[in-house]
Amino acid sequence: MRKLIYSFILLLLFGAVMAVLTHTAQNGMETTQVLPGINPDPVYVTCEPGETLEAMLTAKKEFQVSGFPVLLVNIAQDSRGTLRFTVTDDTSAILVSQVIPVETITPGKWFTIAGDMTFAAGQTYKVSVSADGSSPYFMQVPEKEGAQLPFTEQVVKDGEILECGISLGIDRVELVRMTYGDIFYYSIPVSVLLTAVGLLSIWAGWRKVWTVILGLGTPARRFVNKYGNDLFLLFLFVAVCVSIYSRAYLKGAYISADSAGYLREAVNLVSGNGFSYDGLAGYDTWFANWPILYPALIAAVMLVTGTGAYLASKIVAMVTAGLILLVLRRCFGKDAWLYGLCLTNIGYLNLSYYTWSEIPFMLFMLLFALLFATVLQKERPAWGWYAALGAAGICCFLTRYYGIFVWIVTGLYLLVLFASYRKKREPAVFSKLVGLTVTAAVSGGLSMAYLLLNKLQNGMASGVSRTMWWDDYRILTDDLIESLLTEFFNIFSMQIPELVEGFPYQIKVFVVAGILTGIGWLIVRNCRRFTRESVLIVMAVVYDMVFIAIRYVSSMDSFYFRFFEPATFLLCIALTGLLLPYLRGKKGFHYFASMVTLLLGTAVWSVFANGGMDRDDNYYLSLEAQWEEAYQGIPEKSVVIFNDIDFRSSYYRPDVVEGTITPKDEFANLQQTYYGSDYLCIRAEFAEAMLDSGEYHDSVALRLQEGIAGKEPAEFVVISLRE
């Protein structure tokens, strides 16, 4: 009888809870934030002090808004200026007027300007933005990226209509029927579950129910213990692939000047032009600025899959991630899932988004380090290990010229082995000395032969002059400090905290020194000579030290994540190995694994939930369409003079090269210089300006006049170079 009473009370309570949860909430409103797609390039619409930026918004339909999300950059946090935001209708009536202190705006993040108003279908509303005491920048929004907004936008700056939109969205409000169950997520299924467990506890006894629940977990634990590591690695691989495909293809295009060079060479390789990255354009230019292996990998994927060069480069990044995980699985067994978390590093993911050679380079560096450690640990390693080590070293070099540093590391270990041999005269040590010396000589010799071939074909061993240019060494050092801090926080997939970011560089030095001291203490206390961890650490340290020294005496980009991430990757794997004995078997270790799995699953889910895998509005394909339109008036095998087309497209039309004309150039000189091209193309307004200047040689001016005269208005003047 008591069980019936308890059950009745529980069901009565459940009914009351469900009555509340299914009841319609008063004034049910649903707010949807609608944001435009931002141009991934650093291009802006400036809002200068004392000037008003205007955006004319014409409503496609009637809707109500509660605020206007805005994304601004170029804002100093110590600014005391203000931003005035006003919305007026076609009668100049003020509908929204807000003055926002600039110091309350976080640069690079969306913030909402409150404003309740209703847009009437077909009506135009003017958004006016003016700054006082600051110069905030809006991000540019390409025309197609604002298609999801419920209005069309026309931006006016300095009396001129811009061809782009600005980073301005809306918080759209709709009246909806919402229950309290809708408001409190998952409250209904949780209530049902708790009621079911309560009824079972009443009739079977809570101890038995609890025993059954714990018992159900036993098979699951057995399954996780047996297959959990491999399933997690597979899940991690899928997560990385989803992130690359979504961020770098569907929703963005990560192409730098280096990327365009790799892609252009890959296209020429597929076409059978070998090392000539301008082969399709008719020239025999030797590909020497970068080693050949990365473009060759892209070309191989293009041939196998039939995809374009850019998507093939993303597939290379995905396959490389899978191979890294397989190497970790082979080396570290059931602990590989923890090492695999190194792929969640922000720096690693950013490298994967770009078409850069660092990703396969990291794979070959990892292989070299693990093979080298195996050779050091084995008493008498077979010659196959030395052959594999030499092949890994060559692959490092053929991916990045800097990869030759692995033989510097080998040289350091040879000195240690030589000292050990002199002391103990052990035959096994002498055998390793001979094996490593032969391996380094053969592999290093082949690498030097490659550079010699470059020198003979290109005139420079690495394709371009890398002598020192002028540098502000104080700024360079500041960049180094910032980059090292960034590398540390990237490990934990987070940005530098705002507090630390605000430190002067003189204080950041102590933060960096403290971090390095802590890492050094951990290494000294736990690392042993000739272990995998020690080899990984030595390679990482030598990589960074040599690179920093080279940067201070030669020209290249300043310090940032791209250059340090390969070493950070190796260091993280090594530190994981040093920390693992302290973590393995601890009670909370399994909870950590579960938490990481949950976070990773949530991250993948969020990509799909936020439309990250929506293929209807493919950013890269949209970009290709823009390139197609830009090159429409340029015939095959052309040289474009004063080229102002998006530099990222240089691989898209590999039959086109860039060129210039100086006032002293004769047309015959141009024909000789651009011997591989059939046509000379120059934008019409550039050609007219050249003629108006009267500075150019008569033979060139005559061709320009003939190209302009008697033709329909065209974007480009096309002149034959074969006449």
3-state SS record for 440-459:
HHHHHHHHHHHHHHHHHHHC
For strands 638-641 and 679-683, give the pairing.
parallel
CA distance 668 to 111: 59
What pLDDT is attached to residue 466? 63
CA distance 612 to 349: 16
**The pair of three-digit structure tokens given for residue 606, joined into one six-digit string:** 């969020």
C-alpha distances out from residue 316 to 301, 343, 675, Å: 7, 15, 35
CA distance 417 to 484: 32
Residue 96 β-bridge partners: 87
Hey, what's the torsion of the CAs at 181, 187, 189, 192, to 10 degrees?
Answer: -100
Match 């997690």 to its residue by tokens.
232
CA distance 431 to 236: 41
Q: Write the burial class of residue 536 (CB in 10 Å: 0-12 exposed, 13-18 middle, 19+ buried).
A: buried
Annotate 551-614 with DSSP letters as a single string.
Answer: HTTS-S--S-HHHHHHHHHHHHHHHHHHHHHHHTT-HHHHHHHHHHHHHHHHHHHHHHHTTTT-
Cβ neighbours for 311, distance < 8 A, ≥ 6 positions apart: 249, 620
CA distance 557 to 718: 36
**The pair of three-digit structure tokens given for residue 209, joined into one six-digit string:** 């129910």
Inter-axis angle of helices 206-245 and 587-609, nearest 10 = 50
**CB of 649 closer than 8 Å to CB of 627:** yes
CA distance 521 to 515: 10
What pLDDT is attached to residue 160? 87
Q: Which helix (H) or strand (E) holds 235?
A: helix 206-245
401: nearest Cα among 291, 265, 547: 291
CA distance 368 to 535: 10
Residue 549 β-bridge partners: none
Name the phi and psi angles at 683, rounded to 5: -60, 140
- pTM score: 0.79
Q: Mind listing the pLDDT tens digit for each residue in 422-459?
A: 888 888 888 888 999 999 999 989 999 999 998 888 88
Q: Write the burial class of residue 486 (CB in 10 Å: 0-12 exposed, 13-18 middle, 19+ buried).
A: buried
What pLDDT is attached to residue 467? 62
Q: Mind listing the pLDDT tens digit for each residue in 180-210?
A: 777 777 888 888 888 888 888 777 777 776 6
**CB of 699 closer than 8 Å to CB of 667:** yes
- Beta carbons within 10 angstroms of residue 140's beta carbon: 21
SS3 353: helix
Ranges of residues in the chain with a pLDDT under 50 are none
**The pair of three-digit structure tokens given for residue 471, joined into one six-digit string:** 């540098």
C-alpha distances out from residue 227 to 224, 233, 470, Å: 5, 10, 56
CA distance 207 to 227: 31
Q: Which helix (H) or strand (E) holds 21?
A: helix 2-21
What pLDDT is attached to residue 234? 93
CA distance 147 to 143: 7
**CB of 113 closer than 8 Å to CB of 136:** no
Name the phi and psi angles at 140, rounded to 5: -75, 145
Hey, what's the torsion of the CAs at 350, 355, 360, 365, to 10 degrees?
Answer: -60
- Beta carbons within 10 angstroms of residue 329's beta carbon: 18
CA distance 444 to 20: 75
34: nearest Cα among 63, 54, 72: 63
**CB of 400 closer than 8 Å to CB of 546:** no
What CATH number matches the domain at 31-175, 3.90.440.10, 3.40.50.720, 2.60.120.820, 1.10.3720.10? 2.60.120.820
